[in-house]
Structure 1
Amino acid sequence: MKYYSCLLAIVFSIVLIEALAQEYSNAYGKVIEYKNEQPYETVFVQPVKNNKVKNVILMIGDGMGLTQVSTAWVANHGRLNIDNFTHVGLSRTTAANRLITDSGASGTAMATGQKANYHSIGVDVDGNPLASITDLAIAKNLSTGIVVTCGITDATPATFCANNEDREMEEDIALNYLTCGVDFIFGGGRNQFIHRQDNRNLMDEMKNMGYQVESFWDKVSSIQKGKVFALLEDGQLPLYPERGDVFKDACMKAISILDQNKNGFFALLEGSRIDDCGHWNDIPKLMNEMIDFDQTIGKVLEWAEDDGNTLVVVLADHETGGLTLLDGDISDGLIKISYSTGGHSGILVPVYAYGPKSEMFDGMYENTEVFERIVKILKLK
């Protein structure tokens, strides 16, 4: 009887393992096809010969690893605006206490120059607050801006404006925006400012501090100068193309207002929802987000070429989904891909630089070097 019980247990275990393996294969080993039949036109910009930097624009594709860029390149029939970048480096993304990072730790590293613990925002490994690039830029009388497609209390934008040991403490993070001093703030996340447990209306408080507070793009688009605080959604902005061109337009609006400062500016522009699509393993939605981000890059590059004094840096905080490009056809935008995870991976991510001093982003380095090199270029220390 004991023999048959053991045999039955072994058979059951084998069946269970095979079922789990099949489930894993269905989730992550499956080959997914996608075809983009309507490629968009890309821009061409000349390298900038000037060696003086007045402005820095940091563009983060959240979750955008090299495979996301490669896949988008094939899907858009062999061309991207990213192709214009003259210098490319590689960044390691590890957190202080984990190999695989989250956006809180990686954002903190880029915003402050120090490795941080998983899930922390703008603090060191002991929980002490750190000064960010925006803090240092404001101290040097530069203008600053943040434009994102997520809620502004989400991890990446928060690392440039807040200090908290836990990225989940979004109501506390929202309070930090009252004192961060950033001139142009755009994204989603109204709930953390108006539907709060303490019943405070932080939107009204921001208005009392001199910000032009808006909830609709048509109102934001008419603003020509001054401090702007615009949250268009209670949560994140909708995915592209549902949200239309609002990310592109908000980025260019921010640049036009920040550029009025003769001392220069620093701007963070994040394609936040690339990461969400990677977590979902949803390649059509991912390609839409990559399209919007790359088209925004094209507009920014054209502006930077005309300006001549602006350094543009494009990178990711980490890769999401373990995306693999298996096959495809450049001529018709066909891609065949698979995912290996619903989380983040630990691979290096590309860093693209265009404009004066762009050669400083060549090589392989820790993500903390993004902070160090921008600070050195803008002479913020």
Structure 2
Amino acid sequence: MKLKILFSFSAIFMMLSCNITNVATKEVVKVKSPKNVILLISDGTGLSQISSTFYYKNTIPNYTQFKNIGLINTSSSSEDVTDSAAGATAFACGVKTYNGAVGVADDSTSVKNLVEIATINNVRTGVIATSAITHATPASFYAHALNRGLEDDIALQLTQSKVDFFAAGGLKFFNNRKDGQNLLNNFKENQFTINTTNLSDFSEIESVKKVGFLLEKKEMPRMEDGRGNFLSKAIELATQFLSKDNSGFFIMAEGSQIDWGGHENNASYLISEMIDFDDAVGKALDYAKKDGNTLVIVTSDHETGGFTLAAKKKKRKDGSEYSDYREIGPTFSTGGHSATLIPVFAFGPGSEEFTGIYENNDIFEKILKVTKWRK
């Protein structure tokens, strides 16, 4: 029944869209193939989280720049409500899998991810997050693990991965491990230059083969605790580094902590992270507009918190409560995830492919279709 409803909405949505077919002439518009892809994932973000930028950001949100917009169903293979691991694996590997799975299918077999596929096509790759680099979402783009909690093993896989650029927290999984290994040495064997202090200028890394930034023991600080423009700066640095040989690139960048604000039912935490993510979207769009050959996709793995921009609750002099429609009072309905459909925003060559209503793992298929990276 749920699928019938979903397909019905999809049919209506596609009938209303003329991005792919010119209704007057019935001429199919040829989709240009992008050279670069920037996939931006705002963990835990539904429409209300996005809407908060329109009320709380001091400038016009960068979301207003998108014209090609779709919706995805985020359910995992066996659960209506997904977790971040299964959600990210759907994006990275194109399969629906069980909650907790990182880069593996339902039967626990490894599935090739976008970083591995891009590398086969001589496309350079980058992974960025405001969490630890071993966290569920970034891990799904370079690792294969039966459970997202196996972060020591996931860290080891990063040192052996095809990733060319990464930036996040999570240093402790490399140099303060239970097995006593110092994996920073392993990075050197894979031609990585590792920085544990700060994001450098491009001039400092221009001549190195691969580069990684592990800037905190665990996750990066909250925006409210002074993280600054790390996410935007990391995206800018990644585009400079990965485009230096003009071979094309794929970047996945995650605003990880929007999800955590939802889990905490902490509106100020969530909104500050959401505004930072919107700034990062702007940085990616700036590059795409200047380059002219870059596809930017913005979406989320799921919604967290049942977040709502409700009217603010106030009390009258007699103690009775009322809703003041002149002021917003953010509210939450859960401390976990929800199954609401999630928006997808796309800009640049191939962006027309991302309109409509479809499953989350179709993001993977659509990227391969427009880039022609599948071999």
TM-score by structure 1 length? Answer: 0.83
1:307 is aligned to 2:291: yes
Q: Secondary structure at the match of 1:335?
A: strand
Aligned residue type for 1:275: D
Aligned partners of 1:77, 1:202: CA distance in 2, in Å? Answer: 43
Aligned to 1:238: 221
Counterpart pick for 2:147 among 135, 141, 166: 166
Aligned to 1:207: 188
Counterpart pick for 1:182 among 163, 178, 190: 163
2:32–2:370 Cα contact (<8 Å) kept: no
User: 1:287, CA displacement in angstroms?
Assistant: 1.1
Aligned to 1:223: 205
1:368 is aligned to 2:361: yes
1:321–1:340 Cα contact (<8 Å) kept: yes
Aligned partners of 1:274, 1:117: CA distance in 2, in Å? Answer: 23
Aligned partners of 2:289, 2:266: CA distance in 1, in Å? Answer: 34
Aligned partners of 1:302, 1:286: CA distance in 2, in Å? Answer: 24
Aligned residue type for 2:156: L
Counterpart pick for 1:335 among 328, 331, 334: 328
Aligned partners of 2:58, 2:31: CA distance in 1, in Å? Answer: 33
Aligned partners of 1:234, 1:142: CA distance in 2, in Å? Answer: 30
Aligned to 2:252: 268
Q: For the structure 1 residues 334 and 266, does the alpha-carbon distance in structure 2 shift closer, same or farther, using more than 3 Å as the test?
A: farther
Unaligned runs of 5+ in 2: 1-29, 313-325
Q: Kindly report the root-mean-square deviation, in angstroms, between the aligned alpha carbons of the 2 structures.
A: 1.7
1:250 is aligned to 2:234: yes
Aligned residues: 329
User: 1:334, CA displacement in angstroms?
Assistant: 5.1
Unaligned runs of 5+ in 1: 1-48
Aligned to 2:87: 106
Aligned partners of 2:99, 2:42: CA distance in 1, in Å? Answer: 19
Aligned to 1:55: 36
Counterpart pick for 1:378 among 367, 371, 375: 371
Aligned partners of 1:207, 1:312: CA distance in 2, in Å? Answer: 31
Kindly name which structure, 1 or 2, has the bigger radius of gyration based on alpha carbons: 1
Task: Report the more deviating stretch, 238-247 or 341-350.
Answer: 238-247
Aligned partners of 1:370, 1:166: CA distance in 2, in Å? Answer: 23
Aligned to 1:41: none
Q: Secondary structure at the match of 1:177?
A: helix
Aligned partners of 2:368, 2:157: CA distance in 1, in Å? Answer: 22
Q: For the structure 1 residues 209 and 78, does the alpha-carbon distance in structure 2 shift closer, same or farther, using more than 3 Å as the test?
A: closer
Counterpart pick for 1:79 among 57, 60, 64: 60
User: 1:239, CA displacement in angstroms?
Assistant: 0.7
2:33–2:372 Cα contact (<8 Å) kept: no
User: 1:218, CA displacement in angstroms?
Assistant: 4.9
User: 1:186, CA displacement in angstroms?
Assistant: 0.8
User: 1:86, CA displacement in angstroms?
Assistant: 1.4
User: 1:220, CA displacement in angstroms?
Assistant: 6.0
TM-score by structure 2 length? Answer: 0.85
Aligned to 2:310: 326
2:104–2:146 Cα contact (<8 Å) kept: yes
Q: Report % sequence identity.
A: 41
Aligned partners of 2:366, 2:112: CA distance in 1, in Å? Answer: 15
Q: Secondary structure at the match of 1:217?
A: coil
